[in-house]
């Protein structure tokens, strides 16, 4: 199980502190809500890469906990990272935003194409999240227009708060693979060249 936590620092500072980061202390297990005392144990760390907007890679620790009550392994993922992506959340969103605005984007063209494609495939999921949050919105067939609209809404909320609030919506997450095949749409978005 992943637990998203805002350490209120950026990737570089998190990497510098390493295992000395201030990891959250729980009163209840994030998985089963059982009382923590004696049940939640630190289960080591695993290491992964985080890549910032300058394409600098940092090898960072991710703290793992184990609940003895429900047997769940809980990984504390910093809110600036997305599961299964090495670039930070801010880098990915900023590059997609620049592409949608027609600006020149730094970085690998194929990777940008992947990010734009994934973002456009997730438009229905993002729309659903905002509707569930109380917004009354329509959804047109122009995916690029919708992508620009929702990118602005995400930036208005804040990238990290949007990611934390939307975590688990429809049993998924921002930029995650679609798990509901009927939400796929025809490919009418533009890819970078």
Closest C-alpha to 22, from 73, 78, 67, 83: 78
pLDDT band at 175 (very low <50, low <70, confident <90, very high): confident
pLDDT at position 180 is 53
Task: Tell which wins on pLDDT, 94 or 172.
Answer: 94
- Alpha carbon distance 70, 30 (integer Å): 10
The count of other CB atoms within 10 Å of the CB of residue 29 is 21
42-58: per-residue pLDDT in tens?
889 999 999 999 999 99
pLDDT at position 133 is 87
pLDDT band at 60 (very low <50, low <70, confident <90, very high): very high
pLDDT at position 178 is 59
- Alpha carbon distance 148, 169 (integer Å): 21
């Amino acid at each position: 199980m992943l637990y998203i936590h805002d350490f209120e620092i950026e990737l570089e500072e998190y990497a510098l502190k390493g295992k000395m980061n201030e990891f959250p202390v729980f009163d209840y297990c994030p998985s089963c809500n059982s009382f923590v005392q004696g049940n939640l144990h630190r289960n080591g760390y695993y290491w992964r890469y985080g890549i910032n907007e300058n394409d600098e890679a940092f090898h960072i620790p991710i703290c793992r906990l184990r609940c003895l009550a429900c047997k769940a392994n809980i990984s504390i993922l910093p809110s600036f990272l997305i599961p299964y992506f090495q670039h930070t959340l801010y880098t990915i969103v900023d590059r997609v935003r620049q592409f949608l605005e027609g600006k020149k984007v730094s970085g690998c063209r194929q990777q940008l194409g992947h990010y734009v494609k994934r973002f456009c495939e997730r438009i229905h999921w993002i729309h659903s999240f905002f509707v569930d949050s109380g917004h009354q919105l329509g959804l047109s067939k122009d995916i690029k227009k919708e992508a620009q609209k929702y990118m602005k809404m995400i930036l208005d909320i804040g990238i990290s708060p949007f990611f934390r609030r939307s975590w688990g919506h429809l049993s998924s997450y921002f930029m995650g693979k679609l798990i509901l095949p009927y939400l796929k749409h025809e490919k009418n978005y533009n890819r970078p060249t």
